[in-house]
């Protein structure tokens, strides 16, 4: 075995041993490590909502050209590019971050379009060599304009490449997709939100910089989880929005179904956020085995790609479904708690942020991005204008310019001569010298002068934006609105103010959940006056009191179809298109929080959770049980129904319909009120309620409007006799156009301008069609001013009222899908709000 020879130190070597305190060294090293983890790995930036690895993945995929309109590439290739160029860590960590950005059950708005097995809540993804990926369309909005000096670039780990310090982020990604991460000494856990609601709040903050938290919560009532479900109890959400910390309960969406003639079951279609079906099944089986759960005979997982999640929990005979559901909430992950801890990096430092601070940081970042982009474009336009002006000078005497260049010994001499003779700058002279002769001749004077004028106009506009803070903020707001129009989706998660507002409660009290169900009213709930409301999107709810309903943002197709004044313990009815009336308990409807008003029914739930509808049957409206109702059908039949309904039944027919006829409208109607039919061919008939005598519920009604061949009733309304603000709104369209491609025209007319006619007549013309239009798509008559909404929930401005005899409407520039009444009414004589007819 060879021995190592010790070499003698050099003659000028001086030994210098430094004593280091272990405690201080450990503290310094740990602090450096903690800062590295916090800043470089675990916490997202409050501006773009991304961790460094996520930002590097998106940037590298953009650099690789993996756009949504191109093919997928192997995930392993993306992971290798990111690891080799920007993120010198393990490939597993990079792939895990990439997978999460592709999972629609993890992010509210996925940023990567994955192809292959990207995992589920119960199983992990396939290896990166098997899966493929490309950028999703929303991710382009995060990385757009990176080449226009909108953000700072920093060196990568080996100083050979540059990477963005932060992404431009055209939408508030941190609030929309949330974040989770564990750093050293701190952690973050942020809930996802609805893109349309977050952008609406950001635009409000841009327009009103002094807006408070309550103003923003009118637009963002609570989180919107990718898995849907219900959030029960909003006190913790408000705490989190105010302080950055809070918690709330999430519950599965459960419906009671009759599985067979003698067997009832609980059907789970949505689970709490991050909870998978296999975990729920396992916990239910363990609880049944340990006798913690009773009344369950079997559980079947019928989940598939076509119908989504569907867990069927079969119940034993004689067990109350609500009592079993209460046990499931208590002993299984069907009820889970989500803790909000809004920790993010602001100027490189971790901070706990409330909703207002999160939006303010994003808005400030976006304003800076747009300002830098505008300044960059202004500089490029000025540079181009400088070159165009030089070309215009040279093209006037092109022959002499060519002669100067040919007679010069070298390029430097030609440049000096051009600069001295034509008073050109060095940049202009170089540009002329670099052009080929055939390129120079194509620059006609007219084309260059047109380009010069266009550049000057663009420069003037860019300078106006940079000089005006108001114009700059307006531009940012408009761009956010365009993103909302493009990517916003309806809310998935139902928000319930408290546990008592849930349609299916976790208690032994039986609830009205379907046809034939009875409800036991809780004694602690007082019989206060409320509004029962139904929107065109099928959302049903009750207000916490009977304060005037305030206007606000809408969800998809959110215009109020029915508003019934009632009390919390009362009964009302729902009328369907087949002429069926169903008894409803107001207590079973979710109560909207007072702070939310009733602008977007964020606390409402689909009506089908309360009402069992047959195939092809739709809900027409809500109505009181103690007054005369007027109904209109598609074939022009009208009927006033006396309030003599059976007390021992939960549903019954209130009109005998002819074959293929359906009910199109229902509302309370007195003898002095006006009954209004509007047909698809724009015929309007108005006659007094006294012309229709009240009939029993089994009668078939009488002729209301005389229809032309091929025509049918589009709308039936009741207009109160003492309503001076009543209007008629009609929207025309073309039946030959594809859905959503023909905006048509809209007309708003004072209702008083339409004369009353006799019953069973053809009425008068309400809308003269423009070129290409052949029928009405929407029509409405009632309390005004009317409101309109598009399929994305954006409120649309209607034209000002004009006379009936001018005939046609005003052409639309944007699609209108829903028309409804205004959400506020004048006060009644006793000082309280007056109910609309």
Whole-angstrom distance, CA of residue 355 vs CA of residue 684: 49
Active site residue 157: no
What is the residue whose two structure tokens read 């941190």? 174
Whole-angstrom distance, CA of residue 237 vs CA of residue 338: 10
How does DSSP assign 267-332, residue by residue?
Answer: EEEE--TT--HHHHHHHHHHHHHTTSS-SEEEEEE--BTTTB--EEEEE-TT--HHHHHHHHHHHS
Residue 435, phi then psi, degrees to nearest 5: -75, 140
Three-class SS state of 360: helix
Half-sphere exposure of 622 (CA within 13 A, CB side): 28
Three-class SS state of 455: helix
Neighbours of 51 (CB within 10 A): 21
* DSSP one-letter code for 736: T
List the beta strands (DSSP E) in 16-85.
73-74
Whole-angstrom distance, CA of residue 569 vs CA of residue 824: 24
Q: Cβ neighbours of residue 560 under 8 Å, at least 6 residues apart?
A: 533, 534, 535, 536, 549, 820, 821, 823
- Please give the C-alpha separations between residue 368 and each of 469, 475, 753, in angstroms, as whole numbers: 11, 12, 53
Peptide bond into 785 cis (omega under 30): yes
CB 310 within 8 A of CB 268: yes
DSSP-assigned beta bridge partners for residue 45: 345
CB 307 within 8 A of CB 296: no
* Per-residue H/E/C for 164-217: ECCCCCCCCHHHHHCEEEECCCCEEEECCCCHHHHHHHHHHHHHCCCCCHHHHH
Three-class SS state of 827: strand
Length of the chain: 837
Whole-angstrom distance, CA of residue 601 vs CA of residue 599: 6
DSSP-assigned beta bridge partners for residue 564: 532
Whole-angstrom distance, CA of residue 283 vs CA of residue 129: 34
Q: E strand or H helix at 776, and its extent? A: strand 775-782
Q: E strand or H helix at 667, and its extent? A: strand 663-668
Task: Tokens for 108, please give them.
Answer: 């509210």
Nearest Cα neighbor of 624 from 675, 696, 574 is: 574
CB 216 within 8 A of CB 201: yes
Q: E strand or H helix at 575, and its extent? A: strand 571-576
Whole-angstrom distance, CA of residue 150 vs CA of residue 164: 10
Task: Tokens for 41, please give them.
Answer: 């790995």
DSSP-assigned beta bridge partners for residue 775: 733
Q: Cβ neighbours of residue 108 under 8 Å, at least 6 residues apart?
A: 176, 177, 178, 192, 193, 194, 195, 224, 225, 226
* Per-residue H/E/C for 472-504: HHHHHHHHHHHHHHHHCCCCCCEEECCHHHCCC
Catalytic residue, candidates 59, 130, 376, 443? 130
CB 809 within 8 A of CB 727: no
Whole-angstrom distance, CA of residue 460 vs CA of residue 271: 55
Whole-angstrom distance, CA of residue 693 vs CA of residue 702: 9
Half-sphere exposure of 501 (CA within 13 A, CB side): 23
Give the orientation angle of helix 469-487 with respect to helix 355-396, to 10 degrees: 110
Instruction: Report, as residue numbers or ranges, the catalytic residues.
Output: 130
């Amino acid at each position: 075995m060879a021995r190592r020879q010790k070499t003698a130190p050099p003659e000028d070597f001086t030994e210098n041993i430094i004593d280091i305190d272990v405690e201080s060294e450990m503290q310094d090293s740990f602090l450096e490590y903690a800062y590295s983890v916090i800043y470089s790995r675990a916490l997202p930036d409050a501006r773009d909502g991304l961790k460094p690895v996520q930002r590097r993945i998106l940037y590298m995929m953009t650099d690789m050209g993996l756009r949504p309109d191109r093919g997928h590439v192997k995930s392993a290739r993306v992971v290798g590019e990111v690891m080799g160029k920007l993120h010198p860590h393990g490939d597993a960590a990079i792939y895990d971050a990439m997978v999460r950005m592709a999972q629609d059950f993890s992010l509210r708005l996925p940023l990567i379009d994955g192809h292959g097995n990207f995992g589920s809540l119960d199983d992990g993804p396939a290896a990166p060599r098997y899966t493929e990926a490309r950028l999703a369309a929303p991710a382009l909005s995060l990385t757009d304009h990176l080449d226009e000096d909108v953000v700072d670039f920093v060196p990568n780990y080996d100083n050979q490449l540059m990477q963005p310090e932060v992404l431009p982020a055209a939408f508030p990604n941190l609030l929309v997709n949330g974040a989770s991460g564990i750093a050293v000494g701190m952690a973050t856990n942020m809930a996802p939100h609805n893109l349309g609601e977050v952008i609406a709040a950001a635009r409000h903050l841009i327009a009103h910089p002094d807006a408070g938290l309550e103003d923003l919560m009118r637009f963002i009532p609570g989180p919107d989880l990718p898995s849907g479900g219900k959030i029960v109890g909003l006190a913790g959400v408000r705490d989190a929005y105010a302080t950055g910390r809070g918690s709330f309960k999430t519950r599965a969406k459960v419906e009671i179904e009759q599985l067979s003639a003698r067997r009832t079951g609980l059907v789970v279609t949505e689970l709490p956020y991050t909870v998978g079906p296999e975990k729920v099944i396992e916990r239910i089986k363990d609880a049944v085995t340990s006798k913690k759960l009773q009344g369950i005979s079997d559980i079947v997982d019928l989940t598939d790609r076509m119908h989504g999640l569907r867990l069927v929990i079969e119940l034993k005979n004689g067990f109350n479904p609500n009592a079993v559901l209460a046990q499931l909430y208590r002993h299984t992950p069907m009820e889970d708690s989500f803790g909000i801890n809004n920790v993010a990096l602001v100027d490189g430092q971790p901070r706990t942020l409330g909703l207002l601070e999160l939006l303010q940081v994003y808005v400030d970042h976006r304003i800076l991005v747009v300002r830098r982009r505008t300044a960059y474009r202004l500089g490029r336009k000025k540079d181009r204008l400088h070159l165009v002006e030089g070309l215009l000078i040279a093209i006037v005497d092109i022959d002499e310019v060519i002669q100067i260049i040919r007679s010069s010994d070298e390029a430097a001499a030609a440049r000096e001569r051009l600069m001295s003779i034509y008073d050109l700058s060095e940049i202009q002279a170089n540009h002329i010298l670099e052009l080929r002769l055939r390129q120079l001749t194509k620059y006609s004077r007219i084309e260059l002068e047109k380009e010069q004028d266009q550049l000057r106009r663009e420069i003037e506009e860019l300078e106006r934006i940079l000089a005006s803070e108001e114009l700059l903020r307006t531009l940012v707001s408009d761009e956010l609105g365009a993103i909302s129009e493009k990517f916003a989706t309806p809310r998935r998660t139902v928000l319930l103010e408290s546990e008592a507002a849930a349609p299916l409660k976790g208690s032994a009290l039986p609830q009205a959940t379907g046809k034939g169900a009875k409800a036991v009213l809780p004694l602690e709930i007082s019989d206060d006056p409320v509004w029962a409301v139904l929107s065109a999107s099928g959302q049903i709810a009750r207000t916490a009191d009977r304060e005037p309903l305030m206007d606000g943002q809408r969800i998809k197709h959110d215009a109020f179809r029915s508003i019934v004044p009632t009390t919390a313990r009362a009964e009302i009815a729902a009328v369907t298109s087949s002429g069926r009336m169903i008894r409803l308990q107001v207590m079973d409807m979710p109560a909207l929080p007072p702070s939310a008003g009733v602008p977007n029914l964020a606390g409402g739930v689909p009506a089908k959770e309360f009402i069992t509808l047959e195939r092809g049957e739709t809900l027409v409206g809500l109505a009181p049980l103690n007054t005369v109702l007027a109904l209109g059908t598609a074939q022009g039949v009208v009927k006033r129904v006396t309030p003599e309904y059976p007390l021992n039944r939960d549903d019954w027919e209130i009109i005998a319909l002819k074959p293929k006829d359906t009910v199109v409208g229902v509302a309370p109607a007195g003898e002095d009120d006006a009954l209004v039919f509007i047909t698809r061919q724009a015929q309007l008939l108005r006659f007094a309620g006294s012309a229709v005598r009240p009939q029993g519920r089994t009668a078939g009604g009488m002729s209301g409007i005389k229809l032309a061949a091929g025509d049918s009733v589009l709308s039936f309304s009741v207009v109160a006799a003492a309503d001076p603000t009543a209007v008629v709104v009609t929207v025309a369209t073309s039946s030959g156009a594809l859905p959503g491609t023909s905006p048509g025209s809209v007309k708003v007319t004072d209702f008083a301008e339409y004369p009353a006619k006799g019953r069973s007549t053809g009425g008068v013309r309400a809308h003269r069609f423009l070129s290409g239009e052949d029928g009405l798509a929407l029509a409405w008559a009632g309390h005004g001013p009317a409101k309109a909404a598009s399929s994305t929930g954006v409120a649309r401005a209607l034209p000002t009222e004009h006379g009936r005899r001018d005939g046609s409407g005003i052409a639309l520039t944007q699609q209108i899908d829903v028309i409804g009444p205004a959400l506020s009414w004048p006060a009644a004589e006793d000082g309280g709000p007056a109910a609309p007819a």
